[in-house]
Structure 1
């Protein structure tokens, strides 16, 4: 089914996502899963057979953008992708994830041994998760909570902390082949770009509001031409990110998705750091949330392996010339 022909518009999902993200601000991860499921957000990408909406990535972009803007304390990106890619090999688990009855995450760093032992990392909110997807060979394996232990890792993101996971060799519930695992990783790039865009939008809005209302020496800070130019450059970078994401969702090809992620990973931190600078000393305090958005942006960029993606894009562009 072509969702656009059915009368659905991806922008319509933004309002619902924003309300759900705001409602989750005071909830723990388990309660957040239930609330997000009630609003239909966990099943945006999942097939209808497992209780999802069966939509494409265009509809997940505004959802992740809202999550990034609202600093959502839930691994929404991982939940959406697991619901989508587990519908075939393990529909029961996919249905539980879509319904908010179970929680899953993905270890983005490291690889499991053939007997599903070893240590993997960069697993957002693995503590308390019912399922963990880990790389194994060219594909991936879905491990139940009985098959791993979690330890805290040193990381930047305080809202959606990454954890290190030690695998104990349990039998996997299912596996993803190389093609499915590669598709999941590629889709994750675009969704990370959307989350970074949302976080950067919030940072820029906070900076603009602060310099407009903060007065020094009888004048608002925005009267400073250098600050206005800085905000203008950051707005231009933000719209460049948005345009790259729009192009990537429209064509559905690998290179534009990689380029959109690189644009977000490059410009997102600059915008967040500029917002911190605009706030002066206040920008480094816990009362001003811009540093939390910077932490999330840096973490998402690291999960997407910026250096490797940049090299892949460069090689692809060289090959076309």
Structure 2
């Protein structure tokens, strides 16, 4: 069973089929348990979270009914899912692994990206992590008090990842595309100085110096109106460097253009390809390709196909839902090609 909270709260079976959770209080119960994933939530806390000042006549029994309804919904789709919701002296808990929730997979991908030193590999993992977002975290429970802290934490993680990705793409010479993408993001978060710094650099490196200076003036105005202070010294120094046309801000050469692309979707499962090491064995690191930490499951026929496409096209695009394993698949093919 898989759960999604980076958008509206959604339940899916292991093969991706949606599971309907139609009743409002049952959905709220599920959301509350997901907020506290793996940790028990006291009965009194759940009652307060679900009903607030409108407590039902027999709240304990009513809550138990909602728990039973949630278990039935999950069990109808996957019989073993009933055991995901446990009860003990400390309360009810949803016992699902972190990677069964898209927020857990997002955090794991971000952690893996930060451990890498190769910029393009980091960009790939950060982009894959951000693709998991379908909207605002817990979109249908934005006003629920029990979700506020978790929503704020997830949104901060998302913004930080977007800032890191922007800086990496600047270093890879993607200034022109990045300038337009960052404009709306910076406008939505007018006090994120790191984000505005990337926007100013992207504009300047795209030959749009006047717009870069205008962006700083806009940020300066917002800081004065909302905080009564000036932007930090790093942004002020960047502003001065743009005014001087400092050579250190010179555009980074962009990656070579690609004449065409080919798009494929890797299958979900198959027998392991013969070139991959057995599970638990370590694979040698080839030039520029991170060594995999585990064997690749499935795709026996697809990896040779991918390698053949790379030989005939400058760009091959892997498509598929977030978390399906696109990056792992790409690294396996890159290792074979190397």
TM-score range, shorter chain: under 0.3
Answer 1 or 2: which has greater strand percent.
1
Rg: which structure is higher? 2
Q: Structure 2-normalised TM-score? A: 0.26
Using the size of structure 1 for normalisation, the TM-score is 0.27
